[in-house]
Chains A and B, each alone.
Chain A
Amino acid sequence: MALLEVKDLRTYFHTDDGVVKAVDGVEFSVEKGKTLGIVGESGSGKSVTNLTIMGLNPRRNTVTSGQALWKGQDLLTMKPAQLRDIRGSEISMIFQDPMTSLNPVHTIGKQLVEAILIHRDVSKRVARARALDLLKAVGIPRAETRIDDYPHQFSGGMRQRVMIAMALINDPDLLIADEPTTALDVTTQAQILSLMKRLQDDFGSAIIMVTHDLGVIAEIADDVVVMYAAEIVEHADVYDLFNRPQHPYTWGLMGSLPRLDADVERLTQIPGQPPSMLRPPSGCRFHPRCPYVMEICKTKNPELLPTQRDPGHLQACHLDEDTKDREAAKLKATMAEAT
């Protein structure tokens, strides 16, 4: 049984301007010890998906449906007290911005100890020892003295390490990381990513990695979900996704990426802007920006279906499979040629 199974998840926000369908029928599952990458542009619903699973959306004017089964129990219908027990111990979360997600008026030691004491019945001294162990595990130098420092005394990368220590402090089974490296420099990003990989090996946690960076996905994910306009457009194994992408949006994302290892004179650009979720386009939501648009795309939204070759590779596009394979091969060839 999968650790987390999300079924037909929908989150609608009722605003003064109308209903914003932020997440619209998302399905995926996360296995123990595996990393699921969720990739998409801003506004594609990738963060809201995770906030919904964690029950962190504002309750007013939000309508949620579907299921998020955590070890068989539905997180969405759980009592708040029960959810609080799971949150922070069995499932924990790392947020994007390490500058604002720590409390500036408490030392990091106090914040780490608090996270333990909420979930476990241990003495303060035991909790502090545990906090110190974790700070060492995430590579904070001179952890014995730095545990009594305030967040502003740490750099961005160090603060993100503290956040990771806090997320891991109760040995979670699932770690949700929402753009954990976006605010950081490349060298710091490399440190944090290798840290996360190492900790996953040591602790055996599953990870959901939310990012807009296909490079980060390629480095760390086992399984990838590509989101566009509140829906999943493609879901595949990481090697499969990069070798044989099946959706025009995924092709666009890959083509628009300037690459270190490839010389491309002109980037393929996806025309236009991501749509407003107040009034999403009819039919396939990508059709106004899609270079392969057909009549059917304007009226009928394609279902997320397995490809004929590989039942594990899901995609939502009306194009026939031969065309898609041809285009994917072409994309792969231009990449290889440029390298």
Chain B
Amino acid sequence: MAQAATVEPETGFQPTGDELLVIEDVKKHFPITRGIIFQKEIASVKAVDGVSFSIKPGETLGIVGESGCGKSTLARCIIRLLDATAGKIWFEGRDITKLSRANMRPVRREMTMIFQDPYASLNPRKRVGFIIAEPLEIHRLGTEKEVKTRVQELLEVVGLNPEHYNRFPHEFSGGQRQRIGVARALAVNPKLIVCDEPVSALDVSVQAQILNLLKDLQDDFGLTYVFIAHDLNVVRHISDRIMVMYLGKVAEVANRNQLYGQPKHPYTGALLSAVPIADPELGRARQAIVLEGDVPSPVNPPSGCNFHPRCPRFHEGHCDVEDPPLYPFGDGHVAACHYPLESWPMTADEMRQMSPSPTGPNNGT
């Protein structure tokens, strides 16, 4: 852990050396080019713009944010499906940011991914047995017979019938396909699984099955999850710690009870109050912070704090000038806001004081 000890990310944590994964100031910018032969870079989409966090073995870190906030890009950078533009990624104390393909291969056994769309992430022409066995064959784990036994064992672990070894993906329903995706991610006995919106394409009753399965597997195999979702209810249910992202940056990181109990960033507050509550009495009684406008374009993010054009606590001359660092609130709770929320839920009076800025929202198109 020699390298990791030198890291001092801005998130307020000090690496203690037992983190499974440390991400330091990772950026991913996609260039926008013009010209056919001589391509000139005219701008870039700052999909991820300086994100740092760490995760301990056996922990689940939830990442939430609206579409376009860079959470999926971040996931792809973590397991190096995309190469980060800047920043460092440490896995088990080893810098994997610049590893070659060949050197990366053994690391890939330790970290796998479950994708969002169970319809698009399985090859329709391959049998389920082959799909799950493929990672085992790539890493040359066992003879043909051992692989087959392992695949059938995996099918059973995720709650599918081992007899269905020879079926094609189209013969399964959405929930069952997602189970196949889970089995494939588990095949090589990884330490870390990055789940990119694993339940958002599923019906609620089936979603509960997959969430319970992921929790059981974590207990049985000591897995570590990075769990990405836009559904705050789902993230709360499964995560130990949660990171809220906005426009490629970290808005707030806190453990589950702090984040849902005392959010500090106004964006977190707005997200929480926007979630419909499945109880007509509670839901209709509460005050909601309704955000105006849309998420601005990551090509030209707003100056200063990137949330300031939509923020109900906007202070002119401060928020639009100075980019807030992550202020600590104790116990690893950090939030990037100059004027954090003092109480939660907010009273009607506080809500009224927070009138939106007269300049109006920036509705980027």
Contact = CB atoms under 8 A, between A and B. Distances in A.
Interface of A: 41-42, 141-142, 149, 153-158, 185-191, 193-194, 212-219, 238-239, 242, 252-261, 264, 266-271, 273-274, 335
Contact of A253 (B204, B238, B293, B294): B204
B291 A191 contact: yes
A187 B277 contact: no
A87 B329 CA distance: 56
Contacts of B281: 239, 242
Given A186-B271, A212-B203, A273 B278 contact: no
Given A41-B204, A186-B66, A187-B271, 8 more contacts: A141-B293, A191-B290, A213-B276, A215-B233, A219-B284, A256-B207, A258-B211, A258-B233
Given A194-B290, A212-B204, A158 B363 contact: yes
19 contacts: A149-B365, A155-B363, A158-B294, A185-B66, A186-B230, A186-B232, A186-B275, A190-B288, A190-B291, A191-B291, A239-B281, A256-B205, A256-B208, A257-B204, A257-B278, A266-B215, A268-B208, A270-B205, A335-B279
A185 B67 contact: yes
Contacts of A190: 273-274, 276, 288, 290-291
Contacts of A219: 276-277, 280, 283-284
Contacts, number: 142
Secondary structure call for the B interface: helix
A239 B278 CA distance: 11
B278 A218 contact: yes
A257 B277 CA distance: 10
Contacts of A253: 204-205
Interface string B158-186: 00000000000000010110000000000
Interface in B276-333: 276-284, 288, 290-294
B360 interface: yes
A273 B270 CA distance: 35
A252 B208 CA distance: 10
A264 B233 CA distance: 11
Contact of B208 (A185, A267, A273): A267
A332 to B, nearest CB: 10
A157 B294 contact: yes
Nearest to A268: B208
A260 B275 CA distance: 8
A215 B277 contact: yes
B107 interface: no
Contacts of A238: 280
Per CB-CB distance, the 4 closest pairs between chain A and chain B, nearest first, are A215-B276, A256-B208, A258-B237, A190-B274
A218 B277 contact: yes
A80 to B, nearest CB: 35
B211 to A, nearest CB: 6
B237 A189 contact: no
A319 to B, nearest CB: 19
Given A141-B360, A218-B279, A253-B204, A273 B365 contact: no
B230 A185 contact: yes
Count chain A CB atoms within 10 A of each CB in B238, B276, B291 and give the residue with the most. B276
A273 B173 contact: yes
B236 interface: yes
Contacts of A215: 233, 275-278, 283
Interface in B200-225: 203-209, 211-212, 215
Contacts of A157: 294
